[in-house]
Structure 1
Amino acid sequence: MIQINFPHLDQPIELVKGKCNVLVVENNPIYSKVIYSIYNHQDEYFKIFDENNKLLKAKEIVTIFHPLAFDFNEKSIKTLFYNRIINQINMEVEEKQSLENNFRSLVNQLVELVDENNNLDVAYNDDLDFKNFFKSIDLSINQTIQSSIFEKIQLIINILDELAAEKLLIFTNLNIFLSNQEYLYMMEQINLNNQTVLIIESSRYTLENIPYYYLDTDFFLDESMVKLD
């Protein structure tokens, strides 16, 4: 169970686990404080805590403030990507042995070429370090296959579902990028992935027929449309 709380709420909001949860905060100053608090993990204005009332750690939360600026190959994501591949290789003993043998063969071929053309004594290491090898060939996630912001958001959701072990994924202001139909499809995708996601919006734009929590400008929380489970 994950709950969120911030000033002006009478009680914490319990997020539905494995589902897409939408919160609309129409008061601009409050919305700004919420977003800044999420951005600055030292700021405890907006609190996210578990069933034991312990605040979630920064590493347990992934926040996407702008989907277009999200880099699939930034260090933390790429590390998760490499570790996943290495774990898969380690599970395939014969394939791993074949890769290591091929690598040694390539190294030996290179050393022979150096010996033939240079009067030098060279040292080398023919042990295959997969992570360093991935870096040397610039193995990365292709970021050029999306043709729209909607497709980029879809890819973010699926990549993080595959790679990350976060307890909560947060998006902000997605309704300025998506049509109502795209929003509904995205929510369906999140629910099918069994991901716990919180989307924080500053307006109800394009949210027709979508369940959400609504904190109006008078700080009244409307739960009449909350039918997430």
Structure 2
Amino acid sequence: MNTPELHELVEGYKAVYPAAITDILDTDFEFHNQWLGPDIRPLTPEMRVAGPAMTMRWVNDPVIVDDNQYEELTSRIVNEMKPFMVPVIDTSKCPNAGYWGELMCTIAEEKGISGAVIDGGVRDPYYIYKSGFNLFSVFPCPLEANFNRSRLESVQQPITINQVTIHPGDFIMGDFGGVVVIPQDIVVDVYYKVKELIDKESETRKLIRQGASVKELLATGGRI
């Protein structure tokens, strides 16, 4: 089995869909909860994201970070960005802060990043939509996270969203059907098995159009 280059994996995963991935994770690898939950959605149904996770965790904290600290933290985030990464932010469920905005999208795109996943609020959603950046989030929020609301605790350390642990480098795939996490040590195996499953589903569609019975459909090894 050939190991695809990273750009091939990214494009390949963008061409599939979360339900096929979770079926393979369920049946072949016994990972039964890799979905980041119903709250995280794309700004538009057409948006898709795939790539290795760049993780960040913010904690609810009333301490205001001074300008020097803010510059240091922002520089750290930008310096960690690499092409094809997907920034994923655990916001500790903060209800009144925006963790990503249009300017961060512009920076990310300059770094070769085309999407991000935020378990919380985002700023400038209209301008992000207009830019075409593939943003997944929970709600719009104009309030800056850094002012008396939230504090960056870690970058590129494990985080947890919807009881799913995400390690830096785990593979993220998301579309209108949800966002899922593929552990990095099985990402290539899952990729090939998902492709096989989708080929089977294409055959199943043909049989459905030909009037096959449920028994006949299940006998092919496909799903309904």
TM-score bracket, normalised by the shorter chain, equals: under 0.3
Compare the two structures and name the one with the higher helix fraction. 1
Q: Which has the larger radius of gyration?
A: 1
Alignment TM-score, normalising by the size of structure 1: 0.22
Alignment TM-score, normalising by the size of structure 2: 0.22
